[in-house]
Amino acid sequence: MPVDTEKMLAMRCPQCGRLGYHPLQRFSIRSGNLEIKCSCGAVKLVINTVNRSDYHIKTACVFCECFHSRPLSGKQIWSSPGIIDLYCHDTGIELGHIGREESVRKIVSDREKELEMLVDEFGKDEFFHSSKIMYEVLQCLHQIAEKETLYCQCGNRHIEVEIFPDRLELQCRNCGSVNIIYAETEEDLQVIRQVEEIELVKSGFEYLDSLVRSGRIKKSGTGRNNKT
């Protein structure tokens, strides 16, 4: 079986949210810690090995605000043709991917195309107050839905999403519950980046940022004033 000497890491920064690609070279990983950093300076990944046969990977998690540790063998990293998916241990949401460059870029491209197609349904950039923020918020919501942690208290897990220029409206058709997610500013993006699950209140009407302020969902910093 051929052994690769270089793999690619694709991962969003837990601080600034920027997607970055980082080559991992087998012979540059020696004893001690190799830190993979974002261009903003934040540490995204730490790799440690003693013998180049057994590795220990620590992945920075935006949701838990800590590092998740995972042991990997050299065979898993360098010999396997597949993708190693890096997850948050608590939520199961994807944090990044390690693999051959073409495979990693393809899986990232496929995920982004799914969301781009959704955004394209609403026409050109002028539709949204901020296309970039809307795209990122949709990506976060997509990850939450994939983990099946988007649901209503009434038992319905088929939540509908309506997209507006400045927000998303999550709706439960069973009980009429509505949850508003704003998508205009960097602060709005930081709110949903801290969310592990979204539970709509049965027959209720709520704002995601007000849930953060109440402590039912935690986030760093302050939220937007509730628009009731």
pLDDT tens sequence across 87-120 = 888 767 778 999 999 999 998 888 777 666 666 6
Question: Looking at residues 154-169, what average pLDDT do you find?
Answer: 89
- Tell me the per-residue pLDDT of 65-77, one tens digit each, with 9 for 90 and over: 789 999 999 889 8
The Cα 206–Cα 221 span in angstroms is 20
Which has more pLDDT, 209 or 205? 205
Interatomic CA distance for residues 178 and 201, integer angstroms: 8
Between 221 and 45, residue with greater pLDDT: 45
Q: For the stretch 132-160, what's the b/e string if a residue is b when 16 or more beta carbons lie within 10 angstroms of its beta carbon?
A: ebbbbbbbbbbbbbebebbbbeeebeebe
**What distance in Å separates the CA atoms of residue 55 and residue 99, rounded to the nearest whole number?**
15
Q: What is the mean pLDDT of residues 10-27?
A: 86
pLDDT for 225 equals 35
Q: Which residues contact 123 (CB under 8 A, 6 or more apart)?
A: none
* pLDDT over threshold 90, residue 64: no
Domains and CATH numbers, the chain: 6-98 (3.10.450), 112-214 (no CATH)
Looking up tokens 């795209």, which residue turns up?
135
Give the pLDDT score at 176: 92
- Tell me the one-letter amino acid at 184: E
pLDDT band at 227, cuts 50/70/90? very low
pLDDT digits (tens, 9 = 90+) for 122-153: 555 567 788 788 888 888 888 888 778 899 99
Question: pTM of the predicted model, to two decimals?
Answer: 0.56
pLDDT band at 200 (very low <50, low <70, confident <90, very high): very high
pLDDT of residue 228: 29
